[in-house]
Amino acid sequence: MERQGRLRVYLGAAPGVGKTYAMLAEGQRRKTRGTDVVAALIETHGRQQTAAMAEGLEVVPRREMSYRGVSFTEMDTDAILARRPQVALVDELAHTNVPGCRNAKRWQDVNELLGAGIDVITTLNIQHLESLNDVAEQVTGVVQHETLPDEVARRADQIELVDMTPEALRRRMVHGNVYPPDRIDAALTHYFRPGNLTALRELALLWLADRVEEGLQRYRAEHGIATPWETRERIVVGIAGEKDDDAVIRRAARIAARTPGSDLLAVHVTSDDGLAVGQTTLLESQRALVTSLGGSFQEVPGEDVASKLLEFARVENATQMVLGASRRSRLRTLVAGKSTPTRVARRAEHIDVHLVSRGSAAHGGQHLAWPPSALRQRRAMAAEASAEAAALTRLAASVLRGRSDPPALLEEIRDMFGLAAVSLLERRPDPGGGWFVVASAGERAPEGAGADVELLISETCMFAARGRTITGLDKRVLFSCADQIVAEVVRRRRDERDDQAAALVTGPRSRAALVAATTQKAHDLVETAQVALDQLADPASHTQAENADLVASARLALDRVARLVIDVSDLSRLHAGALETYLRPVDLDEVIAACLEDLGPGGHHITLDIPEDLPDVIADAALLTRILTSLIADALHRCPAEVPPALSAAVRGDQVEIRVTDRRPRPDQGNSNGSGLALRLARDLTEAMGDTLRCDEPPAGGRSVSLTLPAARGPLPRPVPAAAS
């Protein structure tokens, strides 16, 4: 009988964590030991480090396929079987093959290789597992059409997690080690958000922990080990089917809640003569309670309750048991020694036994929300999202009815949550502190601290309410609603400042220069978009690729017009003294990621040179993002596609220098030394933060703009001067 090949899976929480790299490194290691290794199918996705790790490995040519007039390549299973290596490296186990291949899925091809005695090393992302596919979709909002039955992965001889923190993965993204520049912004703001990555990482860890547990149970069974191994806490609660068992269940849940990651297992021993109807109803109620607390409920048949409870606990590798104390008097229990709890406690050996007084049922205790279960967490998240969506929808409906002013929205919240009065408070800017009322609804609305409900929305805004306390889910939904009202207040104030700024920008020379600088540029951009749209009016005259290029051209031109309008608005507000600054330590990686997002798809052909150990800088994060976005957008507009501009950063003593360099401008672009709108905006915004911006023309041509900021680990930030008039 032919030997069955062994399967090794490198499991990751998301693309880019290094699964393929780890697989190739293992292949290279085995090759150096003399093992016959081939690269059956490798997907480098253009990542240079991954491609470098594959060098020197024998590559089995792919099979070319044609489907609906389009050419594809797939793994050539026949060629690998004919070659018969000792080890085959196969990327993306959950991949769906092109119709016409011998198997619909790549894991089926891998099964054939394993059946032929070939060891396979492969890669897999957690979101492709069938059991977690719907959860991953809820987290990321992305439907994964390529799925893999869990059993395929569970049968693997080895599963190794390739782990990376969300922060490290996002840093890899920013440095261009995962996706090309034109895909970075979309990835960082959608699939690769920190919350998404954290949730996917937790799913991967939990799923792998269950697989490790299965292996441990097999080992203990094969070696006849009955003594519990406390690798994780498992609390078994015995259910007698009595009315006051609810207190016992809640007590066990509290014990489990003290140890995150522990399991709660409830068990009831049924006799062979069946149950009375009343007891059946009671057990169903207790089953529901256990489930609501994140545990599981099982029934096992047997006459000797103590023996069955202990047997169940040992099979489940329980570390603790919780039982309701006997109703007998203490003296009678000691003399007889025949109560179930007493017998369990005497024979439990290494299992800790807790006896809960059934009298505590009279006090009941409040219903617990026990968090360790992943299923319960998902239910809670869904309930919270639903409640939040309903509340925000009601607020949105109020806005559509014309009631968008803050007092009207606060009245909507007051009615929604049954409160007597609500207020939106803002911290006073004077040294004495305190709060003043921005808007309110209801009688005797709170005017400061000491209200029944106090939610700090930001460092300067607080929502206060009187009438009743708000906790749990209601409190989280209330916070979301209050946050929306704060956003509406901020928006109204910004609109008012913009109106004032437009009126305050005086002087015919300043106004004429601004109009002249923007009108021609806006005209050119609109004309570019119009030409592209005119050509798209007859899509049949162009290929699909040409039409896509026209759409991209029109979209890019319109995006630049939108940025132009924002630039003019920022300049107006700045010169009117209406632009506020907030200096604090800022992570440059996050700022650059935000810049790439602002630039939009197709506008990221720029070389990044950002050291990983770069310190934070003292700056206004929003202003710094606007400055760099304006400079990068202008550099991209000036440079031809084949010579992209560069963005670099370096430490200079106690300061950080950020530089945007045009290596070779397009023939139709001049080397303006600061007279352009982009440079004017960048220089004025930089000076508003108290920093300096310098523009140079290197001898080789082009333009270099440098921005110098204090490092966060250096001296305290300088006072911010008044805005230019």
User: Which range scores top for mean pLDDT: 208-222, 325-339, 406-420?
Assistant: 406-420
pLDDT given at position 370: 39
What is the Cα–Cα distance from 664 to 487, expressed in whole angstroms?
43
Average pLDDT, the chain: 76
Does residue 261 register a pLDDT over 50? yes
Q: Are 14 and 169 in contact, with CB atoms under 8 Å apart?
A: yes
Which structure tokens are listed for 340?
A: 């179930």
How does pLDDT run across 207-222, given as a tens digit for each residue? 887 676 666 666 556 6
Asked whether the beta carbons of 593 and 170 are under 8 A apart, the reply is yes
Contact 711/655 with Cβ under 8 angstroms? yes
What pLDDT was estimated at residue 62?
A: 93
pLDDT at 38 over 70: yes
Q: What is the pLDDT of residue 520?
A: 62
Out of 3.40.1390.30, 3.40.980.10, 3.40.50.300, 3.40.640.10, select the CATH number for domain 7-222.
3.40.50.300
330 pLDDT exceeds 60? no
431/586: higher pLDDT:
586
Higher pLDDT, 446 or 663: 446
Confidence at 1, pLDDT banded by 50, 70, 90: low
Residue 700: what pLDDT? 65
Of residues 237, 246, 239, the one with CA closest to residue 362:
246
- What is the pLDDT, as a whole number, of residue 344? 83
Q: What are phi and psi of 403, to 5 degrees?
A: -105, 70
Quickly state the pLDDT bin for 363 (edges 50, 70, 90): very low
What is the second-level CATH architecture of the domain 375-503? 2-Layer Sandwich (3.30)
Question: pLDDT tens for residues 618-640?
Answer: 888 888 888 888 888 888 877 77
The predicted pLDDT at position 673 comes to: 37
Contact indicator for 15, 125 with CB cutoff of 8 Å = yes
Question: Is residue 441's pLDDT more than 90?
Answer: no
pLDDT tens-place string over residues 651-662: 988 889 999 988
Residue 516: per-residue pLDDT: 58
The domain over range 234-372 is classified in CATH as 3.40.50.150? no
- Cα 574 to Cα 352: distance, rounded to the nearest angstrom: 69
b/e per residue, 452-487, with b = 16+ CB within 10 A?
ebebebeeebbbbbbbeebeeebeebbbebbbbbbe
| 458 contacts 483 by C-beta, under 8 angstroms | no
pTM of the model: 0.40
CATH tag for 579-725 (out of 3.30.565.10, 3.40.50.2000, 3.90.1300.10, 3.40.50.300): 3.30.565.10
Delimiting residues of CATH 3.30.565.10 domain(s) in the chain: 579-725
* Residue 359 pLDDT grade (very low, low, confident, very high; cuts 50, 70, 90): low
| Of residues 77, 45, 83, the one with CA closest to residue 63 | 77
Read off the pLDDT of residues 667-720 as tens digits, 9 standing for 90 and up.
444 444 334 667 777 787 787 777 788 888 776 667 889 999 888 864 444 444
**Highest-scoring range by mean pLDDT, 98-102, 316-320, 352-356, 363-367:** 98-102
526-554: average pLDDT: 72
Tens digit of each residue's pLDDT (9 = 90 or more) over 139-180: 787 778 888 998 899 889 899 999 888 888 888 888 888 887
CB 604 within 8 A of CB 185: yes
Beta carbons of 321 and 338 less than 8 angstroms apart: no
In the chain, residues under CATH classification 3.40.50.300 are 7-222
Q: Is residue 41 over pLDDT 50? A: yes
Higher-scoring residue by pLDDT: 33, 315: 33
